[in-house]
Amino acid sequence: MDLAALQTTIRDTFGVQDRARGVDATFGWFIEEVGELSRAIRREGHDERVIEFTDVLAWLVSLADLCEVDLATEVATRYGNGCPKCGQRPCGCGALDPSRP
């Protein structure tokens, strides 16, 4: 499934509930799922990590949809040519270096 299809599926499946809940409460659920992912990465096995990664992605997509962000388009625009700062693959500028604060 590509990102555009995922966003459509999430909207069709959960959009009514998401709109009723609103951005702030949906963001709270997203953060809770990120916490569960953190715990799964540190303490759980692969199967639990898979569940939490997919839950985090689904809540992120829900938030994007509530905020009227077309993730597929925006991700392609920002990262489609490689690093958003230097345009290289792999990044040559260190802009997204995980060791940087």
* Residue range 57-99, pLDDT digits in tens: 999 999 999 999 999 999 999 999 999 999 999 998 876 666 6
Residue 11 located in a structural domain: yes
For residue range 24-53, list pLDDT tens digits in order: 999 999 999 999 999 999 999 999 999 999
Domain that holds residue 30: 3-69
**Dihedral over Cα of 46, 2, 22, 27: its sign:** positive
Number of separate domains in the chain: 1
Residue of 26, 53, 60, 28 lying closest to 39 (CA atoms): 53
* CATH code at position 31: 1.10.287.1080
pTM of the model: 0.87
Residue 100 located in a structural domain: no
The three-state (H, E, C) secondary structure of 18-30, written as one string:
HHHHHHHHHHHHH
